[in-house]
Structure 1
């Protein structure tokens, strides 16, 4: 069934095949996926808007809890104040005496001063000896007939009410004040400041309304709605005077000490507009994708088929040598014909490439043989073994003639040349090999300068000299520089001290001499030459070479530093990184290289 479908499909032209595949594959899948994305993104956005509205309601709930709790603490503090009880229970002979007692009571003024959430604090009392002064008001008949006063007479705990006497500051906390030693009655009334609540709550883009129990609205972001009943339809869509739809969160604030419940309604009026825009945006995207893909397929089909037809004719004329191969590929469309012709061309190209590849291999073999012959000629021209054998012949002739000094010098020269050839082309050497080569070099210099050159060194035994790896010919140029520029022109005994120490992962190599030293100006010039080596300069090229090699190999921060005082000597410090393994021992040993050797020993060597 599967092969039958593709066999039938190949009977159509490529343009027809593209449209046959486009309708079920691109068009339908794009529409289905687009609808799914529209529904899924709408649901996710709705859930996110609902969640954000609930978060805002939780924030408002936290502010209300803090505010109402502050009011309740104030009421609780005043209701238990014995001084206030005494004031409310006392009988005063004159109004002046009563007003002075009221003025002397500071707690109410302090509460109003430090609690900015309080708009008004009033105590209504039946004590006729207390005049209406400051926070004291007489509980006349009109006051006693109010619902909140009658409730306070029957309920000892505090409660909230919504007061309709003021346009704002409608939320009121009421509590009867206990006067156990008097027959008088007193009720404490605290009004919540509307502006304080507005400043605390209006810091987001959400619309907010607050309702106490089932009373009218006591807070709204639209001031004209304060005092009106709340309208909420069955679909949780907030209705305002503009009939706007909104996603809201309905939350409540209740307290274990107060029986009243505050309803919090947090509404997002932009949510439905954003959802509609999202729906339109996705619909436009899906429509654009369908239209664009259709145009692309249409243009591509026209372009592709024209190109294929041209290519078919060109390949067909280029592959006219074998027509019997056409039967090996099924199908009657343009692709099938191109594949047959192209297969023939590929086979021919492969044969041509194989012939070219074999020719290149033969050519490379000839070049390799030629290079090997040239290397053999060069090796024959400079043969190290021939040179060493010649030096050994001269040394033996000197020994037979009794000239042990000459024989000893020739042996040192041969050893030095052997070490140089050994390290030539070698990237790294051990510290032990570097020090062995240095010993031979110092002995040769000892033959030249005599007692003017004295050398000693110390190596930190935390370094395993066989495993400590470094670049070759780093230390010898430092010692050579000390001999050539520091000790060559002195008449007193010269000393060179080499110290190899370990500092964490670095190896510190210090070469110190007591030679002529360097002036401050010359030292600055020398340091500049070392840091910027020149290919034409003939002085201090060894130091510049060491510094450049160390910097390039070990990285930034590694290389040479020079310190010198004229007439007192020079100290050169080379810092490199330890590339080997450290030994486990922690002692430091000092070894002194004796460069003076007796003549019989020289001859025996």
Structure 2
């Protein structure tokens, strides 16, 4: 009400030109400025969030690489540290220097570690025993080594640790590398041996530096850089400003670095079996400038959006009055079906509104006609697509019939030539394929049909194994298998596992047993499939039970049992499932617990 009174009092009484100017300011200029400023603020935050998420993702990637490599190096150091031959026989001060060198010449374990692991650059053992000589991986402890902080720390601590150590190549060029350092326990407590495994810096750089981001990884114990995209930062103090030092630290935002503002993300990485904690930082050197550039472009667009309409609006309102006489002609053209009216109509009075109404009306008519035309085209496309789908549906129905007819032709050919075994095999194959195809996409079949399919499958397997195993079906009295429903293709993978893994080693007297009974009190259908094969030890059985619940994606075995377990859980509910029991040299039993009423939960 108040707004309408203001419009009626001040704007409606003014000339059309002034009305247009006020409308432009209130309805276009001010909202454009407000919306543009809001969008600029929103775009800025959106860009910062997107770049931050990319940086955090890159930090997670770098952390996973560090965890992978450092864990492998740690495992290698444990294997070396636990080598009793190395500790007791090779690092023995009672040996002469020639005997020491002779024994080390035949010890190739460390050579294999260096050659077989790309992440290991060099393995060194610093030994201060009387028999020590500089040979292969062994280095005599010099006064310079004794003064090194990493050596002093290693001989006084049991726990391994990570540190950066300065090394020199054959040309006496210095470089800093990441080492895992740990003490090797010796029988003589007066002697010391320190294992130092140098991680390949090139291996790290090839795996980590595949983006445009800068990377800095620092060690919390020394607050020095252990890895960086800039080699000049190695062993330097941490250049990344940190808000705090905690066990778990994570920060993403702008930092001041090298006299510039950059977006970075920092996160802690705690390593197992050590007191070390790394700070992994990924720096986007271009994000700040990129965001500033986008905001500048948005500001220019806003300025253009404000300045360009202003002279256009002024020109439009000034020439409007000279085109009044054409209004009647344009309205007649529109009423006659000719919608090609002039795009502008200059003037400074109420006739402008009439022309705008005419323009809107013409555009609506043209838009409706366009939509009607597009609707007809869309309708025709849908009809064409329906015809194509019907054709494909007919074609998909032809293929299985052709396959069955082809198998029947082959079977009759084998039968007429007297090869009854081949004819029988083809007949069994046809039955098996028909059951699989008929039940593809369905979620229920009778237990009787499923058992018949299992018996057909077993007959096919007996063509291969002969009399090496027999099959026995035990059904509870008064149970009619046709009265019970089950998920199709649920039992075949279990039978296949029993034959291929349980009975394959049996030369004779193999037995596959299927027991079917019910528990009406708890409304359960119980199916046991057992064999008298080789069985499994407790460790193998435990791994199998784990894999059917959480599959190992790097292996393709036991996928069938995992699928059965998941289908039962998804279709029947969490209270139903599969249990596997096994005893070495006695056999394996797989027990299924299903509902009697077969009510699906999907």
Q: Which has the higher contact order (CA 8 A, sep 6+)?
A: 1
Larger Rg: 1
Per the normalisation by structure 2, the TM-score is 0.50
